[in-house]
């Protein structure tokens, strides 16, 4: 499974990148795309059709988070599942986001939306509309640990006899660009092995922070 960035180039050029990735990885590989709200709804629909023709399984943040009617228009026009929510706050924001018909996959960021307990409430709202929740994770090793704990505790949605990653089982984003606050901050960094990352088993979030790294990046 791989997620790629779109939205920095014209749709035609991103379309060529999408086709190249699909050709390189083959038809069986699960692909997702993230636009980081780079489009208007009409441009997002054009890009979404490109992603659909390449068999993508998720189109993240096609339009700005505040453009809920745009989200709904994009979702209604496309078959590829729409995801978003990393810039949304608390159960109240997600209530309106979900009820607005914006997304198929709800993506609360634990460090933004109000914490682990608030994610649980947001998951309850999402399941009431038979929507999937995949917590958004970006940033530090501490955030990644929190995301791993939450993801590992979420039930299959919808409930099924078999877990199918992305289809009913949450997955976690494991960014591969260098980030010292993720890769160096923890005494024991996370390791990706065969597509899986172990959930820490220590007390609390299960990670130990390297205070020398904190001092190195301290700004005040
Ligand atoms: Mg994103």
- Residue 37 alpha carbon to ligand 1 centre in Å: 9
Per-residue pLDDT, averaged over 188-214, amounts to 93
Give the Cα separation of 114 and 5 in Å (integer): 26
pLDDT confidence tier of residue 112, bands split at 50, 70 and 90? very high
Which residues are part of the catalytic machinery? Answer: 136
Q: Where are the domains of the chain?
A: 2-171
Classify residue 176 by burial, with Cβ atoms within 10 Å: 0-12, 13-18, 19+. exposed
Architecture of the 2-171 domain: Alpha-Beta Barrel (3.20)
Q: Which residue has the tokens 């997702």?
A: 32
Q: Which residues sit with Cβ closer than 5 angstroms to ligand 1, an ion?
A: 34, 60
- Residue 64 alpha carbon to ligand 1 centre in Å: 11
**Contact by Cβ (8 Å): 54, 40:** no
Please work out, in degrees rounded to the nearest 5, the angle formed at the alpha carbon of residue 160 by the alpha carbons of 156 and 166.
50
pLDDT value of residue 215:
95
- Residue 147 alpha carbon to ligand 1 centre in Å: 14
Instruction: Look at the pTM and tell me if it is higher than 0.85.
Output: yes
pLDDT of 144-171, one tens digit each?
Answer: 999 999 999 999 999 999 999 999 999 9
Range scoring the smallest mean pLDDT among 10-14, 93-97, 173-177:
173-177
- Residue 89 alpha carbon to ligand 1 centre in Å: 15
pLDDT confidence tier of residue 220, bands split at 50, 70 and 90? confident
Q: DSSP label at 157?
A: S
């Amino acid at each position: 499974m791989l997620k790629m960035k779109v939205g920095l180039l014209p749709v035609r050029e991103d379309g060529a990148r999408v086709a190249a990735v699909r050709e390189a990885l083959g038809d069986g590989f699960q692909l997702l795309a993230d636009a980081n709200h780079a489009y208007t709804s009409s441009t997002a629909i054009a890009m979404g059709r490109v992603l659909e023709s390449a068999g993508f399984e998720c189109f993240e943040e096609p339009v700005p988070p505040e453009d809920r009617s745009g989200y709904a228009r994009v979702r209604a026009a496309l078959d590829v599942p729409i995801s978003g929510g990393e810039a949304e706050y608390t159960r109240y924001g997600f209530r309106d986001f979900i009820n607005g018909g914006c997304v198929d996959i709800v993506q609360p960021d634990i460090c933004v939306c109000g914490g682990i307990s608030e994610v649980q409430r947001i998951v309850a709202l999402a399941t009431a509309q038979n929507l999937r929740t995949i917590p958004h994770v970006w940033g530090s090793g501490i955030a990644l640990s929190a995301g791993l704990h939450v993801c590992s505790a979420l039930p299959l949605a919808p409930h099924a006899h078999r877990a199918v990653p992305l289809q009913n089982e949450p997955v976690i984003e494991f960014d591969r660009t260098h980030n010292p606050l993720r890769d160096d901050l923890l005494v024991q960094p996370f390791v990706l092995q065969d597509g899986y990352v172990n959930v820490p088993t220590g007390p609390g979030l299960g990670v130990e922070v390297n205070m020398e790294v904190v001092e190195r990046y301290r700004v005040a």
